[in-house]
Amino acid sequence: MDRRADFTTQTKHLTGLIRHDSKDALSRIELLLSRLEEGKPLNADDIAAALADARLEMYEVLRGIERIEELCERESESRS
């Protein structure tokens, strides 16, 4: 596989992971917000667990973005 195709494949893979983690984190946050808006009682332990999971997913998103930036830098350097 040539370098350009490899770069594209890796980038698509990383963006897929980022999309998945972002959607998961967003759905956790939206669920908590909708329960609050509906006036449903929320257990502090449940809130903490859901927010901790969302935080971990967002850290994964940031790591994915950093990996894409690294790939882009390497690709740019290899063209020089």
The pLDDT value recorded for residue 3 is: 81
Q: Is 79 a member of any domain?
A: no
Domain that holds residue 36: 3-72
pTM confidence score: 0.80
Query: Does residue 77 fall inside a structural domain?
Result: no
Tally of structural domains, the chain: 1
CB 52 within 8 A of CB 34: no
Assess if residue 78 is contained within a domain: no
> What residues have CB less than 8 Å from 51, skipping those under 6 apart?
28, 29, 32
d(CA 57, CA 40): 25
- Express each pLDDT in 19-74 by its tens digit: 999 999 999 999 999 999 999 998 999 899 999 999 999 999 999 999 999 988 98
Residue 12 lies in a domain: yes
